[in-house]
Protein backbone atom coordinates (compact mmCIF):
# COMPACT_ATOMS: atom_id res chain seq x y z
CA UNK A 1 0.00 0.00 0.00
CA UNK A 2 1.48 3.31 -1.05
CA UNK A 3 0.86 6.04 1.50
CA UNK A 4 1.28 8.85 -1.06
CA UNK A 5 -1.51 7.79 -3.41
CA UNK A 6 -3.98 5.95 -1.19
CA UNK A 7 -5.77 8.03 1.36
CA UNK A 8 -6.39 6.37 4.69
CA UNK A 9 -8.95 7.45 7.23
CA UNK A 10 -8.92 6.79 10.94
CA UNK A 11 -10.86 8.12 13.91
CA UNK A 12 -12.70 7.43 17.14
CA UNK A 13 -16.43 6.77 17.04
CA UNK A 14 -18.54 6.40 20.19
CA UNK A 15 -21.70 4.31 20.11
CA UNK A 16 -24.09 5.79 22.63
CA UNK A 17 -27.77 5.55 23.52
CA UNK A 18 -30.20 4.35 26.15
CA UNK A 19 -29.73 0.88 27.66
CA UNK A 20 -30.70 -2.14 25.54
CA UNK A 21 -30.94 -0.36 22.18
CA UNK A 22 -28.41 -2.71 20.54
CA UNK A 23 -25.10 -0.85 20.84
CA UNK A 24 -23.03 -3.94 21.62
CA UNK A 25 -24.87 -5.98 19.00
CA UNK A 26 -23.87 -3.37 16.41
CA UNK A 27 -20.21 -3.45 17.44
CA UNK A 28 -20.09 -7.26 17.26
CA UNK A 29 -21.84 -7.20 13.88
CA UNK A 30 -19.37 -4.69 12.43
CA UNK A 31 -16.39 -6.62 13.80
CA UNK A 32 -17.77 -10.02 12.85
CA UNK A 33 -16.75 -11.28 16.28
CA UNK A 34 -18.19 -11.10 19.74
CA UNK A 35 -16.08 -8.87 21.91
CA UNK A 36 -18.89 -7.01 23.67
CA UNK A 37 -21.50 -8.97 25.56
CA UNK A 38 -25.20 -8.75 24.73
CA UNK A 39 -28.34 -9.58 26.65
CA UNK A 40 -32.04 -8.92 26.57
CA UNK A 41 -31.78 -7.10 29.90
CA UNK A 42 -30.79 -3.42 30.08
CA UNK A 43 -27.45 -2.28 31.54
CA UNK A 44 -25.44 -5.21 30.25
CA UNK A 45 -22.33 -3.28 29.20
CA UNK A 46 -20.46 -1.78 32.17
CA UNK A 47 -17.31 -0.37 30.56
CA UNK A 48 -16.18 1.41 27.51
CA UNK A 49 -15.30 -1.42 25.12
CA UNK A 50 -12.97 -0.62 22.26
CA UNK A 51 -13.40 -2.46 18.96
CA UNK A 52 -11.39 -1.94 15.78
CA UNK A 53 -12.96 -2.12 12.34
CA UNK A 54 -10.06 -2.55 9.95
CA UNK A 55 -9.89 -2.42 6.19
CA UNK A 56 -7.27 -1.30 3.66
CA UNK A 57 -8.45 2.30 3.44
CA UNK A 58 -9.68 2.85 6.99
CA UNK A 59 -9.57 2.00 10.63
CA UNK A 60 -12.56 2.90 12.79
CA UNK A 61 -11.94 2.88 16.52
CA UNK A 62 -15.38 2.13 17.95
CA UNK A 63 -16.16 2.74 21.60
CA UNK A 64 -19.13 0.73 22.81
CA UNK A 65 -20.51 2.30 25.97
CA UNK A 66 -22.94 1.52 28.79
CA UNK A 67 -26.50 2.74 28.25
CA UNK A 68 -27.24 6.29 29.38
CA UNK A 69 -30.09 6.34 31.90
CA UNK A 70 -31.22 7.95 35.13
CA UNK A 71 -28.52 6.41 37.29
CA UNK A 72 -28.99 6.22 41.04
CA UNK A 73 -26.58 3.70 42.58
CA UNK A 74 -22.78 4.12 42.42
CA UNK A 75 -22.39 1.23 39.98
CA UNK A 76 -24.94 2.77 37.62
CA UNK A 77 -23.50 6.25 37.93
CA UNK A 78 -20.10 4.84 37.11
CA UNK A 79 -21.51 3.21 34.00
CA UNK A 80 -23.23 6.38 32.78
CA UNK A 81 -20.04 8.38 33.48
CA UNK A 82 -18.07 5.94 31.33
CA UNK A 83 -20.52 6.52 28.47
CA UNK A 84 -20.52 10.31 28.72
CA UNK A 85 -16.72 10.40 29.15
CA UNK A 86 -16.31 8.52 25.88
CA UNK A 87 -17.74 11.58 24.11
CA UNK A 88 -14.71 13.63 25.04
CA UNK A 89 -12.35 11.62 22.87
CA UNK A 90 -14.22 11.00 19.63
CA UNK A 91 -14.44 12.35 16.08
CA UNK A 92 -17.99 11.14 15.50
CA UNK A 93 -20.90 9.86 17.54
CA UNK A 94 -23.31 7.06 16.66
CA UNK A 95 -26.50 7.75 18.60
CA UNK A 96 -28.52 4.60 18.65
CA UNK A 97 -32.29 4.42 19.08
CA UNK A 98 -34.46 1.30 19.43
CA UNK A 99 -37.40 1.88 17.07
CA UNK A 100 -39.25 -1.12 18.50
CA UNK A 101 -38.88 -0.13 22.15
CA UNK A 102 -40.69 2.26 24.46
CA UNK A 103 -38.07 4.98 23.91
CA UNK A 104 -38.31 5.21 20.12
CA UNK A 105 -39.17 8.91 20.20
CA UNK A 106 -36.85 11.84 21.00
CA UNK A 107 -38.63 12.87 24.21
CA UNK A 108 -37.64 9.59 25.88
CA UNK A 109 -34.00 10.23 24.99
CA UNK A 110 -33.62 13.54 26.78
CA UNK A 111 -30.53 12.52 28.80
CA UNK A 112 -28.62 11.44 25.71
CA UNK A 113 -29.72 14.52 23.76
CA UNK A 114 -28.60 16.74 26.65
CA UNK A 115 -25.19 15.06 26.79
CA UNK A 116 -24.80 15.64 23.05
CA UNK A 117 -26.01 19.24 23.14
CA UNK A 118 -23.23 20.13 25.59
CA UNK A 119 -20.68 19.17 22.96
CA UNK A 120 -20.33 20.22 19.39
CA UNK A 121 -19.84 16.80 17.85
CA UNK A 122 -21.00 15.40 14.53
CA UNK A 123 -23.68 12.79 15.23
CA UNK A 124 -25.13 10.06 13.05
CA UNK A 125 -28.54 8.95 14.36
CA UNK A 126 -29.07 5.22 13.95
CA UNK A 127 -32.58 3.79 14.13
CA UNK A 128 -32.02 0.17 15.14
CA UNK A 129 -34.19 -2.97 15.21
CA UNK A 130 -36.02 -2.08 11.99
CA UNK A 131 -36.63 -5.81 11.58
CA UNK A 132 -39.20 -5.41 14.36
CA UNK A 133 -41.31 -2.59 12.87
CA UNK A 134 -43.37 -2.30 9.70
CA UNK A 135 -42.13 0.17 7.10
CA UNK A 136 -45.13 2.54 7.43
CA UNK A 137 -44.48 2.74 11.19
CA UNK A 138 -40.87 3.74 10.57
CA UNK A 139 -41.73 6.86 8.58
CA UNK A 140 -43.16 8.95 11.47
CA UNK A 141 -40.14 7.97 13.57
CA UNK A 142 -37.78 9.14 10.84
CA UNK A 143 -39.69 12.43 10.67
CA UNK A 144 -39.61 12.90 14.45
CA UNK A 145 -35.88 12.29 14.62
CA UNK A 146 -35.26 14.55 11.66
CA UNK A 147 -36.92 17.36 13.66
CA UNK A 148 -35.18 16.53 16.94
CA UNK A 149 -31.63 17.62 16.17
CA UNK A 150 -28.92 18.32 13.66
CA UNK A 151 -27.67 15.02 12.37
CA UNK A 152 -24.98 14.16 9.87
CA UNK A 153 -27.34 11.42 8.71
CA UNK A 154 -30.16 9.23 9.95
CA UNK A 155 -29.56 5.57 9.14
CA UNK A 156 -32.11 2.80 9.77
CA UNK A 157 -30.45 -0.55 10.53
CA UNK A 158 -30.94 -3.97 11.98
CA UNK A 159 -27.78 -4.63 13.95
CA UNK A 160 -28.95 -8.17 14.54
CA UNK A 161 -29.73 -9.07 10.93
CA UNK A 162 -27.13 -6.76 9.36
CA UNK A 163 -29.50 -4.66 7.23
CA UNK A 164 -28.23 -1.12 6.70
CA UNK A 165 -24.93 -1.76 8.47
CA UNK A 166 -22.95 -1.37 5.23
CA UNK A 167 -24.62 2.01 4.61
CA UNK A 168 -23.82 3.03 8.15
CA UNK A 169 -20.14 2.12 7.73
CA UNK A 170 -20.01 4.23 4.56
CA UNK A 171 -21.49 7.19 6.44
CA UNK A 172 -18.96 6.73 9.23
CA UNK A 173 -15.76 6.19 7.25
CA UNK A 174 -16.47 9.12 4.92
CA UNK A 175 -16.60 11.45 7.92
CA UNK A 176 -13.34 10.44 9.58
CA UNK A 177 -10.18 12.51 9.22
CA UNK A 178 -7.39 11.43 6.93
CA UNK A 179 -4.91 9.72 9.19
CA UNK A 180 -2.75 6.63 9.41
CA UNK A 181 -4.12 3.85 11.65
CA UNK A 182 -3.79 4.34 15.42
CA UNK A 183 -3.58 0.61 16.13
CA UNK A 184 -1.98 -2.34 14.29
CA UNK A 185 -4.31 -3.42 11.48
CA UNK A 186 -4.61 -6.98 12.79
CA UNK A 187 -5.80 -5.84 16.22
CA UNK A 188 -9.46 -6.20 17.16
CA UNK A 189 -9.68 -4.67 20.61
CA UNK A 190 -7.59 -3.23 23.43
CA UNK A 191 -8.90 -5.51 26.16
CA UNK A 192 -7.27 -8.75 27.21
CA UNK A 193 -8.66 -12.20 26.46
CA UNK A 194 -8.90 -12.55 30.21
CA UNK A 195 -11.28 -9.59 30.40
CA UNK A 196 -13.46 -10.88 27.55
CA UNK A 197 -13.56 -14.28 29.28
CA UNK A 198 -14.83 -12.66 32.49
CA UNK A 199 -17.41 -10.79 30.43
CA UNK A 200 -18.60 -13.93 28.64
CA UNK A 201 -19.20 -15.60 32.00
CA UNK A 202 -21.06 -12.51 33.17
CA UNK A 203 -23.15 -12.58 29.99
CA UNK A 204 -24.34 -16.10 30.77
CA UNK A 205 -25.27 -15.02 34.30
CA UNK A 206 -27.22 -12.14 32.73
CA UNK A 207 -28.99 -14.47 30.37
CA UNK A 208 -29.59 -17.47 32.62
CA UNK A 209 -30.55 -15.93 35.96
CA UNK A 210 -33.49 -13.72 36.75
CA UNK A 211 -34.46 -10.89 39.05
CA UNK A 212 -31.73 -8.91 40.72
CA UNK A 213 -28.90 -11.37 40.22
CA UNK A 214 -27.42 -9.98 36.97
CA UNK A 215 -27.01 -6.58 38.57
CA UNK A 216 -25.41 -8.01 41.70
CA UNK A 217 -22.80 -9.97 39.73
CA UNK A 218 -19.15 -9.44 38.94
CA UNK A 219 -16.79 -12.06 37.56
CA UNK A 220 -13.15 -12.45 38.43
CA UNK A 221 -10.84 -14.70 36.40
CA UNK A 222 -8.54 -16.19 39.01
CA UNK A 223 -6.49 -18.45 36.77
CA UNK A 224 -5.91 -18.51 33.03
CA UNK A 225 -3.36 -21.05 31.98
CA UNK A 226 -2.44 -22.62 28.65
CA UNK A 227 -1.74 -26.29 29.12
CA UNK A 228 1.45 -26.96 27.20
CA UNK A 229 1.22 -29.18 24.13
CA UNK A 230 -2.46 -29.85 24.67
CA UNK A 231 -4.34 -27.12 22.76
CA UNK A 232 -6.19 -26.54 26.00
CA UNK A 233 -6.70 -23.54 28.27
CA UNK A 234 -7.57 -23.99 31.93
CA UNK A 235 -9.61 -21.19 33.41
CA UNK A 236 -10.82 -20.70 36.95
CA UNK A 237 -13.29 -17.89 37.50
CA UNK A 238 -15.28 -16.73 40.47
CA UNK A 239 -18.75 -15.26 40.19
CA UNK A 240 -19.25 -12.66 42.91
CA UNK A 241 -22.73 -11.87 44.18
CA UNK A 242 -23.88 -9.76 47.11
CA UNK A 243 -25.83 -12.21 49.26
CA UNK A 244 -25.90 -15.89 50.17
CA UNK A 245 -29.45 -16.21 48.82
CA UNK A 246 -28.17 -14.98 45.44
CA UNK A 247 -25.28 -17.41 45.66
CA UNK A 248 -27.74 -20.25 46.15
CA UNK A 249 -29.70 -19.13 43.07
CA UNK A 250 -26.60 -18.92 40.88
CA UNK A 251 -25.58 -22.42 41.96
CA UNK A 252 -29.10 -23.80 41.59
CA UNK A 253 -30.53 -27.10 42.76
CA UNK A 254 -27.82 -29.72 42.70
CA UNK A 255 -25.49 -27.19 41.03
CA UNK A 256 -27.57 -27.26 37.86
CA UNK A 257 -27.71 -23.50 37.20
CA UNK A 258 -23.97 -23.08 37.63
CA UNK A 259 -23.38 -26.00 35.30
CA UNK A 260 -25.64 -24.41 32.67
CA UNK A 261 -23.77 -21.08 33.00
CA UNK A 262 -20.43 -22.89 32.77
CA UNK A 263 -21.33 -24.90 29.67
CA UNK A 264 -22.70 -21.89 27.79
CA UNK A 265 -19.69 -19.75 28.75
CA UNK A 266 -17.21 -22.49 27.84
CA UNK A 267 -18.63 -22.79 24.30
CA UNK A 268 -18.26 -19.03 23.74
CA UNK A 269 -14.77 -18.97 25.25
CA UNK A 270 -13.69 -21.86 23.04
CA UNK A 271 -14.93 -19.89 20.02
CA UNK A 272 -13.02 -16.82 21.22
CA UNK A 273 -9.74 -18.60 21.95
CA UNK A 274 -9.95 -21.17 19.15
CA UNK A 275 -9.02 -24.09 21.39
CA UNK A 276 -10.52 -26.41 23.97
CA UNK A 277 -11.28 -24.87 27.33
CA UNK A 278 -11.55 -26.35 30.77
CA UNK A 279 -13.64 -23.89 32.76
CA UNK A 280 -14.15 -24.14 36.48
CA UNK A 281 -16.60 -21.73 38.07
CA UNK A 282 -17.07 -20.96 41.75
CA UNK A 283 -19.44 -18.54 43.44
CA UNK A 284 -18.53 -16.16 46.25
CA UNK A 285 -20.36 -13.57 48.29
CA UNK A 286 -19.11 -10.01 48.78
CA UNK A 287 -21.74 -7.92 50.46
CA UNK A 288 -22.50 -4.49 49.02
CA UNK A 289 -19.80 -4.65 46.35
CA UNK A 290 -21.95 -2.68 43.90
CA UNK A 291 -21.93 0.19 46.40
CA UNK A 292 -18.24 0.04 47.26
CA UNK A 293 -16.19 2.30 45.03
CA UNK A 294 -12.76 0.84 45.77
CA UNK A 295 -14.05 -2.70 45.34
CA UNK A 296 -15.67 -1.75 42.04
CA UNK A 297 -12.28 -0.65 40.85
CA UNK A 298 -10.55 -3.91 41.78
CA UNK A 299 -13.17 -6.37 40.69
CA UNK A 300 -13.42 -7.96 37.27
CA UNK A 301 -15.67 -6.34 34.66
CA UNK A 302 -14.47 -2.90 35.69
CA UNK A 303 -11.33 -1.85 33.94
CA UNK A 304 -11.53 1.79 34.87
CA UNK A 305 -12.48 4.68 32.63
CA UNK A 306 -11.82 5.88 29.13
CA UNK A 307 -8.46 6.60 27.59
CA UNK A 308 -6.62 3.56 28.92
N1 LIG B 1 -34.84 -7.66 16.78
C2 LIG B 1 -33.67 -7.08 17.00
N3 LIG B 1 -33.08 -7.20 18.22
C4 LIG B 1 -31.90 -6.58 18.41
C5 LIG B 1 -31.26 -5.82 17.39
N6 LIG B 1 -30.10 -5.33 17.89
C7 LIG B 1 -30.04 -5.76 19.17
N8 LIG B 1 -31.09 -6.52 19.49
C9 LIG B 1 -31.37 -7.17 20.80
O10 LIG B 1 -31.53 -6.16 21.78
C11 LIG B 1 -31.05 -6.63 23.04
C12 LIG B 1 -30.04 -5.65 23.60
O13 LIG B 1 -28.88 -5.68 22.79
P14 LIG B 1 -27.47 -5.14 23.33
O15 LIG B 1 -26.55 -5.12 22.16
O16 LIG B 1 -27.06 -5.86 24.56
O17 LIG B 1 -27.90 -3.64 23.71
P18 LIG B 1 -26.99 -2.50 24.36
O19 LIG B 1 -27.47 -1.20 23.81
O20 LIG B 1 -25.56 -2.80 24.19
O21 LIG B 1 -27.44 -2.63 25.88
P22 LIG B 1 -26.65 -2.11 27.23
O23 LIG B 1 -25.25 -2.60 27.16
O24 LIG B 1 -27.44 -2.76 28.32
O25 LIG B 1 -26.79 -0.62 27.23
C26 LIG B 1 -30.49 -8.03 22.80
O27 LIG B 1 -31.49 -8.97 23.15
C28 LIG B 1 -30.22 -8.02 21.30
O29 LIG B 1 -30.27 -9.32 20.75
C30 LIG B 1 -31.90 -5.73 16.10
O31 LIG B 1 -31.43 -5.13 15.15
N32 LIG B 1 -33.11 -6.38 16.00
MG1 LIG C 1 -24.09 -3.11 25.58
Q: What integer best gives the mean pLDDT of the chain?
A: 92
DSSP-assigned beta bridge partners for residue 55: 58
Ligand located closest to 206 CA: 1
How many Cα atoms sit within 13 Å of 14 on the Cβ side?
Answer: 28
Place 146 in a pLDDT band, splitting at 50, 70 and 90. Answer: very high
Q: Is the pLDDT of residue 256 over 90?
A: yes
Instruction: Give domain 9-173's CATH architecture.
Output: 3-Layer(aba) Sandwich (3.40)
Query: How far does residue 159's CA lie from ligand 2's centre (Å)?
Result: 12
Is 201 a pocket residue for ligand 1 (Cβ < 6 Å)? no
Residues listed for the chain: 308
Is 18 a pocket residue for ligand 1 (Cβ < 6 Å)? no
Which atom of ligand 1 lies at the shortest distance from residue 157's CA?
31
Report the residue among 22, 31, 36 best suited for mutation to probe ligand 1: largest number of ligand atoms under 8 A from its CB. Answer: 22
- Residue bearing the CA closest to ligand 1, atom 1: 129
pLDDT confidence of residue 100 = 97
Comparing C-alpha atoms, which of 32, 107, 37, 33 is closest to residue 66? 37
Which long-range CB contacts under 8 A does 148-153 form with residues at least 24 apart?
A: 148/106, 148/113, 149/106, 149/113, 149/116, 149/123, 149/125, 150/123, 151/123, 151/124, 151/125, 152/92, 152/122, 152/123, 152/124, 153/124, 153/125
**In angstroms, rounded to a whole number, what is the distance separating the alpha carbons of residues 186 and 126?**
27
CA distances from 289 to 218, 221, 285 (A): 9, 17, 9
Instruction: Determine the angle formed by the axes of helices 256-273 and 193-208, rounding to 10 degrees.
Output: 140
Place 4 in a pLDDT band, splitting at 50, 70 and 90. Answer: low
Ordered by start, the domain boundaries in the chain are 9-173, 193-298
**In angstroms, rounded to a whole number, what is the distance separating the alpha carbons of residues 7 and 175?**
13
pLDDT tens-digit series, residues 65-92: 999 998 888 888 888 998 999 999 899 9
Q: Contact, 124 vs 173, CB < 8 A?
A: no
pLDDT confidence of residue 78 = 87
- Residue bearing the CA closest to ligand 1, atom 8: 22
Q: Is the pLDDT of residue 135 over 80?
A: yes
Could you tell me which residue, 3 or 242, shows the higher pLDDT? Answer: 242
Q: Is the pLDDT of residue 225 over 80?
A: yes
Q: Is the pLDDT of residue 3 over 70?
A: no
Query: Does the domain formed by 193-298 have CATH 3.30.300.20?
Result: yes
pLDDT tens-digit series, residues 262-273: 999 999 999 999
**In angstroms, rounded to a whole number, what is the distance separating the alpha carbons of residues 302 and 33?**
21
Is 76 a pocket residue for ligand 1 (Cβ < 6 Å)? no
Query: How far does residue 3's CA lie from ligand 2's centre (Å)?
Result: 36
Helix H segments across 193-283? 193-208, 244-251, 256-273
pLDDT confidence of residue 210 = 87
pLDDT confidence of residue 235 = 98
Amino acid sequence: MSEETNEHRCGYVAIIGRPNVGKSTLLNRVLGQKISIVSRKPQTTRNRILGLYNRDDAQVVFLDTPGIHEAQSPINRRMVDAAVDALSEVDLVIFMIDVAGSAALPERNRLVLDALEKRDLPVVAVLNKIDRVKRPDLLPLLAAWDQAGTWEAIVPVSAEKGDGVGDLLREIVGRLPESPPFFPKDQLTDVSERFIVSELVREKVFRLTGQEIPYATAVEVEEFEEVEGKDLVRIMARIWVERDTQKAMVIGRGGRKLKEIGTAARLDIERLLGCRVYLQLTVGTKSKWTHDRSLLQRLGNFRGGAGE
